[in-house]
Structure 1
Amino acid sequence: MRYATTLGAGLLTLALTGCAGVLTNNATAGQSGDDNTVTLYAVSGPEVTDPILGAFKSKHPGIKVNRIGLPGTGEAFARVRAEKDRPLGDVIWGGSSELYTANADLIAPVELPNDAATVAKDPDHIWHATDLLFQAIAVNTDKFPDAAGHPKTFADLAEPGYAGGKVGFATPKSSGTSYSLLTTMVTLHDWDYVDRFVKNARMLDGSTAMFNMVKDGEVGTSFINEDLGAKWIDAGAKIKLIYPEDGVSGQIGSAGVIKGAQHEAAAKTFVDFLMSKEAQQIMVDEVQRRSSRGDVPAPKGLPPVEQLKRADVDEKWAAEKKDEILAKFDDAVKSAG
């Protein structure tokens, strides 16, 4: 995963005044002409957004947030593209950074004060890092009790006769998590690896099935977002998380200011707050995701990011060549029978 590690000068200082803030959650955008309103297209669910929205309301009572929940980042960008000539939203929050890069024509490039504190930075200032999310190999220890046979690497999962049986894997067309995993596989081991891996894979319709089937013991091995895996382990699930030694797949959770936003100043204030230490501590303590900041430690149960060997996936390639990558994966699945 490639990203800048430094930030240039010219940070924006933002200040807004106004009337008392109101937090709403309805399905209609662009209803208020108030300069102190932010229409938010939220990809993540309320379990992620609500704690931070509550803190924003307390910190900035003069800015109203109109939260509109959308089922996925693709749907959010499709809506913004349809509204391009007359933008109704101000901010997109949620989804991985490569999707923002792929839709850079829809996002305003803005440099914000808290960008400097994040460990992942977009040199073009399109996306702003709100959290870090890594994927681990998940093993069901009841279904696959032999610890000596547990995989240590992506490479292990493509071995003929893999001891763990079929590996649950969601189709990357419908799963952003699997798309990140796929681009990591290709980056680490090229397409010959993918051809071998899919022979060991049990293809599933989406991320939820990929996560649940290993938890429920329907497959012995799968992949999982680490925050969910850690929560399930705390709740007693018989699963084990393994961070691949040959490289860990990850996503930079992001937000962006929509180009042509009606309430651009308030939108900048909101996105900058998402990266603040206050909001990021809530991300760790209440949402239980990794912070995008270097000065906020990882949630309990997750290893420090410095201990992980992160795969260096070319974000531009993953974004611009997505259709080609997905088509090549489909060909591999068909060839595997």
Structure 2
Amino acid sequence: MKRRAIHRLSLYTALTVSSLTSLAHAGEITVYTALEEDEIKEYLQQAQQDLPDIKVNVLRLSTGDLGPRILAEASNPQNDVIWGWALTNMMDPRINKLLDPYQAKGEDTLPASDRDAQGKWFAATGYMAAFCVNTEALKEKNLPVPTSWQDLTNPIYKGEVVMPNPVSSGTGYLQVAALLQGKGEEAGWNFLKSLDGNIAQYTKSGSRPCKAARTGEYAIGASLAFAAMQSIEEGYPVKMIIPSDGAGYEMEASGLMSAAKNKEDAKRFLDWTLSAQAAALYTKYKEIVSIKGVEQSAAAKAAGLPADLATVLYPVDFTKSAETRDATLSKWQQVIGR
């Protein structure tokens, strides 16, 4: 969801709305992120215990809004750290040149694909596409449970499917990028046009389609796995479906700003994001955690998420996804236009 308000999260205060401080000093850092507010709050409560001498000011914006903010400030960056932002966006050359190489403690244990060869970013968590299917709504309308993206183009689902808009939603973009990479440009766009015929609406948030499906507002939400897992855990009549013809995914990257005003504490914070204490919290909010030794959550098991995600994830080419992002979104607005 697009947020114009700046949320200041401190290791000493609860979540409040305030103006962002423009200058950091020893013992204080400013972090920009696209993580969700509920998880930010819990992560920082743990960080308060582990880094009691650092005050963390956080600006939280949606994936699509954070990039323009960072680029607008490029001549005078106001943050020390980028935390948990879509890897596809982080790989933008304009963003990359604003980052300093830094190898956080524990980064060397991450898979090579989840860390930058030049040391400018690392990605410890991620999210993946999944359908939230309201089984009661489908039963009431005598509709079968869809098992693939191809199924969603069936006219019987017209007006029953909600999907995030890739322009504003990182989840929406990962879905579209994976479909285009898997099918090829021409076939991919033809497929998206066919799918569009059944889409009731495109939402700004990646989790919103699942929330609409779980309440029965619509029968099917093309969303992310965590939203489905959470809905099932909370007792909604939802079944999580990993599309058999390709589940796109995105990793969440973090990095150190070259212009950071407090680099030492910024580095300590980045180290903390890979700590055992932080990792223990991630599976509560993430379906993908690449930190070694982190076990799958009970909610993931209950929802039927495979222990080996490599068996269901589409092998996204993140470099290509980053390079073609602007062109893809521009074409989306031309071809789909809503």
**CA separation of 1:32 and 1:125: change in aligned 2, threshold 3 A:** closer
Deviation at 1:130, TM superposition (A): 3.3
Q: Do 1:87 and 1:262's aligned partners in 2 also have CA atoms closer than 8 Å?
A: no
- What is the Cα deviation at residue 148 of structure 1? 8.5
Percent identity over the alignment is 21
* Cα gap change, 1:86 to 1:229, in 2 (>3 Å): same
Q: Deviations over 1:152-177 (max 9, x none)?
A: 22222224x24575321222112221
* Superposition deviation, residue 241 in structure 1: 0.5
**Aligned length in residues:** 311
Q: CA 1:57–1:301 in 2, change beyond 3 Å: closer, same or farther?
A: closer
- Report the equivalent of 1:108: 100
Change (3 A) 1:214 1:148: closer
Q: What is the one-letter code of the residue matched to 1:38? A: I
Inter-partner Cα distance in structure 2 for 1:192 and 1:42: 34
The aligned residue for residue 268 of structure 1 is: 267
Q: Which amino acid aligns with 1:79?
A: R
Residue 126 of structure 2: SS of its match in structure 1? strand
What is the deviation of 1:288?
5.6
Distance 1:81 1:170 in 2: 24
| Residue in 2 that maps onto 1:121 | 115
- Verify: 1:85 aligned to 2:75, yes or no: yes
The reply to whether residue 23 of structure 1 matches residue 2 of structure 2 is no
Q: Does 1:314 align with 2:317?
A: yes
Residue-by-residue CA offset, 1:182-209 (whole Å, 9 max, x unaligned):
1111122232322221122223232254
Distance (Å, rounded) in 1 between the aligned partners of 2:242 and 2:146 = 10
Report the counterpart of residue 241 of structure 1 in structure 2. Answer: 240
2:47 counterpart of 1:96: no
Give 5+ residue unaligned stretches, structure 1.
1-20
Q: CA deviation at 1:94?
A: 2.7
User: Of residues 167, 178, 185 in structure 1, which corresponds to 2:179?
Assistant: 185
Please give the alpha-carbon distance, in whole angstroms, between the structure 2 residues aligned to 1:48 and 1:29.
22
1:124 CA displacement: 3.4
CA root-mean-square deviation:
2.6
State the Cα distance separating 1:77 from its structure 2 match. Answer: 3.3
Kept in 2, the 8 Å contact 1:100–1:126? The answer is: no
- CA 1:147–1:104 in 2, change beyond 3 Å: closer, same or farther? farther
Structure 2: any 5+ residue segments left out of the alignment?
A: 1-9
Quote the Cα distance in structure 2 between the aligned partners of 1:327 and 1:297.
39
Structure 1 distance, partners of 2:170, 2:332, is 14
CA deviation profile, 1:112-134 (whole Å, cap 9, x unmatched): 23212334223333322131211
| Conserved? CA contact 1:297–1:304, under 8 Å | no
Residues in 2 aligned to 1:224 and 1:128: alpha-carbon distance in whole angstroms = 25
Correspondence for 1:197? 195
Q: Which has the larger displacement, 79-88 or 196-205?
A: 79-88
Inter-CA distance 300–290: structure 2 relative to 1 (3 Å threshold):
farther
For the residue of structure 2 that corresponds to 1:296, the secondary structure is coil
- Please give the per-residue CA displacement for 1:89-122, whole angstroms capped at 9, x wherever unaligned: 1012232111111121222232223212334223
TM-score w.r.t. structure 2 length? 0.82
- The CA deviation string for residues 185-236 of structure 1, in whole angstroms up to 9 with x for no partner, is 1122232322221122223232254222211222222212222221211221
What displacement does 1:147 show? 9.4
The answer (yes or no) to whether the contact 2:100–2:257 under 8 Å persists in 1 is yes
Question: CA 1:253–1:22 in 2, change beyond 3 Å: closer, same or farther?
Answer: closer
SS in structure 2 of the partner of residue 270 of structure 1: helix
CA distance 1:209–1:48, change in 2 (3 Å): closer
Q: 1:141 to 1:78 in 2, by over 3 A?
A: same
**1:301 counterpart SS class:** helix
Distance 1:87-1:128 versus aligned 2 partners, 3 A rule: same
Q: In the TM superposition, what are the counterparts of 1:196-215 in structure 2 within 5 Å?
A: 196-207=194-205, 208-215=207-214
2:44 aligns with 53
